[in-house]
Chains A and B, each alone.
Chain A
Amino acid sequence: KQEVTQIPAALSVPEGENLVLNCSFTDSAIYNLQWFRQDPGKGLTSLLLIQSSQREQTSGRLNASLDKSSGRSTLYIAASQPGDSATYLCAVIPVDDYKLSFGAGTTVTVRA
């Protein structure tokens, strides 16, 4: 059974600092990996999707890397802003299934 772990569970940084969020998964046979943002009491917003054949994806200040063989993905957020405060979730879809397996998330607070 796929298990997804996110470390740290919470992170607080001053505005302007770069953020590094980690995600690890136990089964490297994945179809793709996604990073989501969740604001308190809200649904999920997809940030980046990395196919298993890709090593990274970039969107604006966000960059996500994928090392499938080691079961790891990292989300980098450059020059953090208070508006980046949210919980960030990673999720994987295995090659032999269609179900997303989610990590518990990293709650980020960016201090002004």
Chain B
Amino acid sequence: GAVVSQHPSRVICKSGTSVKIECRSLDFQATTMFWYRQFPKQSLMLMATSNEGSKATYEQGVEKDKFLINHASLTLSTLTVTSAHPEDSSFYICSATSSGTTDTQYFGPGTRLTVL
């Protein structure tokens, strides 16, 4: 149980294009989903927290207009990187909790984004 999937697992795009990453909870309803970014050999940095049906809460320094997050249902959250640039290349990981923000977070397998 408690499986979280991400799609795609890796994506390569040209600079200036937008990329959408999906995060799904497969066997539970995720009231809260989190989006993280990880650079090589560094820890995960929380980008934003999203609750189903409401606007995402972004961490300081994260551009909300660049990283659009939508949590339209209890099983799906999407992260759209708009007008991507090479510096946006990173590993993006989502996680989900089932019954509250302090509950155990279940992590997706991650999405490797490369912007050329």
Of A34, A43, A98, A105, the contact of B43 (CB 8 Å cutoff):
A105
Of A41, A43, A99, the contact of B108 (CB 8 Å cutoff):
A43
Of A43, A49, A105, the contact of B6 (CB 8 Å cutoff):
A43
Of B34, B45, B46, B110, the contact of A43 (CB 8 Å cutoff):
B110
Interface size class of A (residues with CB under 8 A): 20 to 34
A31 within 8 A of B: yes
CB-CB under 8 A from B44, the residues of chain A are: 44, 89, 91, 100, 102
A61 within 8 A of B: no
Q: Is the interface of B mostly helix, strand, loop or mixed?
A: strand
Tell whether, in the assembled complex, residue B43 and residue A104 are in contact, meaning their CB atoms are under 8 Å apart. yes
What is the total of A-B residue contacts with beta carbons within 8 Å? 54
Tell whether, in the assembled complex, residue A99 and residue B109 are in contact, meaning their CB atoms are under 8 Å apart. no
- Nearest Cβ in chain A — how far from B58, in angstroms? 12
CB-CB under 8 A from A104, the residues of chain B are: 41-43
The residue of chain B having its C-beta at the shortest distance from the C-beta of A98 within the complex is B101
A-B residue pairs in contact (CB < 8 Å), sample of 21: A9-B41, A41-B91, A41-B110, A42-B109, A42-B110, A44-B44, A45-B107, A46-B104, A46-B107, A89-B43, A89-B44, A98-B49, A98-B100, A98-B101, A99-B49, A100-B34, A100-B46, A102-B43, A103-B43, A104-B41, A105-B43
